[in-house]
Amino acid sequence: MANIAKKVSWSSRAEESGVAGERTPLFNGSEQPRLSRQLSGGGSVFQIGRLSTVDLEEEITSDEDSQRGRPKEIPHNEKLLSLKYESLDYDNIENQLFLEEERRMSYMGFRCLEISRWVVCGLIGFLTGLIACFIDIAVEELAGIKYQVVKQNIEKFTEVGGLSISLILWAVLNSSIVMLGAIIVAFFEPIAAGSGIPQIKCYLNGVKIPRVVRLKTLVVKVCGVICSVVGGLAVGKEGPMIHSGAVVAAGVSQGRSTSLKRDFKIFEYFRRDTEKRDFVSAGAAAGVSAAFGAPVGGVLFALEEGASFWNQMLTWRIFFASMISTFTLNFFLSIYHKNPGDLSNPGLINFGRFESDVRNSHCVFFQLYVVCGLLGALFNLLNYWLTIFRIRYVHRPCLQVMEAMLVAAVTATVSFTMIYFSNDCQPLGPEHTEEYPLQLFCADGEYNSMATAFFNTPERSVRSLFHNQPGTYNPLTLGLFTLTYFFLACWTYGLAVSAGVFIPSLLIGAAWGRLFGILLASITSSGSIWADPGKYALIGAAAQLGGIVRMTLSLTVIMVEATGNVTYGLPIMLVLMTAKIVGDYFVEGLYDIHIKLQSVPFLHLEAPATSHWLTAREVMGSPVTCLNRIEKVGTIVDILSNTSTNHNGFPVVVQPAKLCGLILRSQLIVLLKHKVFVELARSRLTQRKLQLKDFRDAYPRFPPIQSIHVSQDERECMMDLTEFMNATPYTVPQETSLPRVFKLFRALGLRHLVVVDDENRVVGLVTRKDLARYHLGKHGLEELQVAQT
């Protein structure tokens, strides 16, 4: 696992790690050394606390150990976590500067701030809708040109012979377009690969992912997803919209662009993690709304990922952003389709209207639930091993581009072969919905049914499976299409291209569900009593998607909103729950798998069920690097420059080691940059007092400590931290249970939790990584029993 994890990276650039100490790719959670230092106030060496991996036998006798049910060694399910991922500072730093600013602000000032938040959310929804509109129009136009060229070529060579030329043309076009998308991702912005949903899930969970919400990432993401879909890969453009909306939110809410080095001097109050993360939630919800026309589903998606951080007004603002997003997309698409005011395209994918006739179908839907849960587990398992292979052997950008081109060529070859050998010919009626019907070897007035599924964009293929009349597809066509597209989609997800897995999952499930409906009607004596196969396609699509991504509440609402019929709410809810239960028995959801492969300290909603025997004393990190309230500048510089540690929070103590506050690395860097030293403050009476604006101007790219010059004379100066430290940090006694510690982190969005003894002396520090590496997982109980024996 160590050899694998060292190469895993959502952003493969070493320079993005910030400080030198972050270049160490991984740390072992059970053996990470902590810095011990000499407190400048006295002369003795203080080691606050003790090692995080403790030998419980030193303090607890064997009888006490058996009584309390604690193992001799705390079991670990995930020992390796990446050092490059840090937590967001969601909790406000209530130092004297912050409190003075808040107290100076009038009631009208707070009202103006609230209005500004609504304005920002409106801008987020509007811009996200525009981006979705641009992607949709670009894909439709470019894909239309490509398919028309290939269609004309196929029709030409069908008559005169030489269809191999058409195959080569199709493969070359696909490979060339995908090559362009893969190059800009692999060489310019690797974080833009994939759908971006795992990264946004981590961000909403409280983890800072490098480069995930930058302008360059957005540009590469938008261009990359257009190339991926037009290039004929088994991908969708809906998933990346969530990432795009999040990037828009992060940029708009800050009132400046650090990439373009432009500061518009607006929304300066929002330049902190607390506000930024809330706006990113609105952006992610707006992306869901633009993708599926599901504003409520977008709100619930963001709620599922960061439920503990929310309040009522924030929920309303996110819903407002979602509604603006879908309305903007709807309005501009109506103009594009030359029907201004016809708001019938609420999202990038439109399932169409479904009738309410679902009688006699609920009893057989359950078989679909289980099968699609199994197929989802198989998809995730295959993709997991394929990702492991890519991590080991396909980690260079040039190899990633070549693999993407290979997949594009193979996809075109398989599609052409399936169409060529298919003899499923259907009559081409006056009301046909096929955008690019291929006759091939069919008789006049007929078209190749297999081409409807392959020779089209995935969104149109899904809609045809939902709404085409019974008899449009024969079982063999659907069976072969499901099998081939399943493996193509599994191979495609994880390439160095911008692409989503939502639509491929829906397409696989729709094909399988329609096949199930056709077979069910054929083996019963009265097939007419069963529902239309298109309804089974809908249930199969929901089941397959739920089996892969394992989302329940938000996905149920998204599917109901996309169908426009609440009658399907119950079967869709049941199918998603069943598919999740069945799939979780074998393997985790696809996004969770990729999050774990990246070694991200992701915290789930609840602490492990078998963790009540753990206390803060067992999970805390120690010894802790502490600072005196009035500290020597040289000591601070040495601590921040130490490459063997990567601390971002430092308890501030008074003799003898009693806690009086907490200060962050970023704050210390700003203080050093502005040389806020006691001696200089006394000698320069006109020195400007440091304000919160100075910290906000440096946010979010605080300079590394190596870029700050401190002379030898300045190293001897003292720094008073009283005004800048958080004087009321959250603390817990060392006997606090792990579930309680976990709830504090999730409910309050903490980055650091100080562990103190009965006399308020610092004995340890709990961080997100300390909690993440003690997540026992599905087999935690078995590991616990083995450890106890």
In tens, the pLDDT along 623-656 reads 899 999 999 999 999 999 987 777 889 999 998 7
Instruction: Write out the two tokens for 505.
Output: 């999952």
Place of tokens 């903007």: 328
In percent, how much of the chain has pLDDT > 70? 83
Q: Are 573 and 179 in contact (CB under 8 A)?
A: no
In percent, how much of the chain has pLDDT > 90? 43
When pLDDT is cut at 50, 70 and 90, the band that residue 9 belongs to is: low
Write the DSSP string, 335-386: HHTT-TT-----SSS------S--TTTHHHHHHHHHHHHHHHHHHHHHHHHH
Q: Is the peptide bond before 700 cis (omega within 30 degrees of 0)?
A: yes
- The residues that bridge with 651 in the sheet, in sequence order, are 662
Arithmetic mean of pLDDT, 298-319: 81
pLDDT at residue 362, as a whole number: 53
Class of domain 360-397+423-597: mainly alpha
> Is residue 426 over pLDDT 70?
yes
Residues 6+ apart with CB under 8 A from 490: 379, 382, 383, 386
Domain range summary for the chain, segments of one domain joined by +? 104-336, 360-397+423-597
pLDDT at residue 86, as a whole number: 87
When pLDDT is cut at 50, 70 and 90, the band that residue 397 belongs to is: very high
When pLDDT is cut at 50, 70 and 90, the band that residue 771 belongs to is: confident
Burial of 93 (0-12, 13-18, 19+ CB in 10 A): buried
Q: Are 75 and 784 in contact (CB under 8 A)?
A: yes
> Is residue 81 over pLDDT 70?
no
Q: What span, in angstroms and rounded, lies between the C-alpha atoms of 648 and 706?
A: 15
Which has more confidence, 782 or 137?
137
How far, rounded to the nearest angstrom, does the alpha carbon of residue 477 sit from its chain's CA centroid? Answer: 35
Q: What span, in angstroms and rounded, lies between the C-alpha atoms of 196 and 240?
A: 6
Domains 104-336 and 360-397+423-597 share a fold: yes
Q: What span, in angstroms and rounded, lies between the C-alpha atoms of 507 and 468?
A: 14
Q: Is the peptide bond before 656 cis (omega within 30 degrees of 0)?
A: yes
The pairing of beta strand 649-654 with beta strand 658-664: antiparallel
> Is residue 726 over pLDDT 80?
yes
Which has more confidence, 239 or 429?
239
Weakest-pLDDT range from 488-492, 498-502, 523-527: 523-527
pLDDT at residue 19, as a whole number: 38
User: Mean pLDDT highest for which of 105-119, 149-163, 368-382, 451-465?
Assistant: 105-119
Q: In this predicted model, what pLDDT tens digit does every residue of 185-203 receive, in sequence order? A: 999 999 999 999 999 999 9
Half-sphere exposure of 540 (CA within 13 A, CB side): 26
pLDDT at residue 228, as a whole number: 95
pLDDT at residue 73, as a whole number: 36
pLDDT at residue 189, as a whole number: 93
Residues 6+ apart with CB under 8 A from 192: 184, 185, 217, 220, 221, 224, 243, 498
Q: What span, in angstroms and rounded, lies between the C-alpha atoms of 422 and 406?
A: 24
Arithmetic mean of pLDDT, 220-229: 95
Decide if domain 104-336 falls under CATH 1.10.3080.10.
yes
Radius of gyration of the chain measured on its C-alpha atoms: 29
Q: What span, in angstroms and rounded, lies between the C-alpha atoms of 228 and 177?
A: 7
> Is residue 779 over pLDDT 60?
no
Weakest-pLDDT range from 212-216, 446-450, 544-548: 446-450
Q: What span, in angstroms and rounded, lies between the C-alpha atoms of 735 and 614?
A: 9
Long-range contacts, 475-481 (Cβ 8 Å, 24+): 475/515, 475/518, 475/519, 475/522, 476/424, 477/422, 477/424, 477/449, 477/450, 477/453, 478/511, 478/512, 478/514, 478/515, 478/518, 479/515, 480/418, 480/422, 480/450, 481/418, 481/450, 481/453, 481/454, 481/511
When pLDDT is cut at 50, 70 and 90, the band that residue 49 belongs to is: very low
Q: Are 321 and 572 in contact (CB under 8 A)?
A: no
Q: What span, in angstroms and rounded, lies between the C-alpha atoms of 391 and 1?
A: 11
3-state secondary structure of 753: strand
Q: Calculate the alpha carbon distances from 40 to 626, 635, 658, 718, 763 in Å.
A: 11, 8, 15, 10, 19
Weakest-pLDDT range from 46-55, 343-352, 661-670, 674-683: 46-55
Arithmetic mean of pLDDT, 548-556: 88
Q: Calculate the alpha carbon distances from 322 to 114, 299, 300 in Å.
A: 18, 7, 11
Q: What span, in angstroms and rounded, lies between the C-alpha atoms of 505 and 396?
A: 28
Residues 6+ apart with CB under 8 A from 762: 48, 49, 624, 626, 651, 653, 657, 658, 659, 754, 755, 756
Other CB atoms within 10 Å distance of the CB of residue 716 = 12
> Is residue 577 over pLDDT 70?
yes
pLDDT at residue 244, as a whole number: 95
pLDDT at residue 31, as a whole number: 39
Which has more confidence, 183 or 72?
183
Which has more confidence, 78 or 428?
428
Residues 6+ apart with CB under 8 A from 581: 373
Instruction: Write out the two tokens for 496.
Output: 């160095």
Q: What span, in angstroms and rounded, lies between the C-alpha atoms of 6 and 586?
A: 26
Q: Are 560 and 572 in contact (CB under 8 A)?
A: yes
How far, rounded to the nearest angstrom, does the alpha carbon of residue 682 sit from its chain's CA centroid? Answer: 49
Q: What span, in angstroms and rounded, lies between the C-alpha atoms of 407 and 171?
A: 10
> Is residue 576 over pLDDT 80?
yes
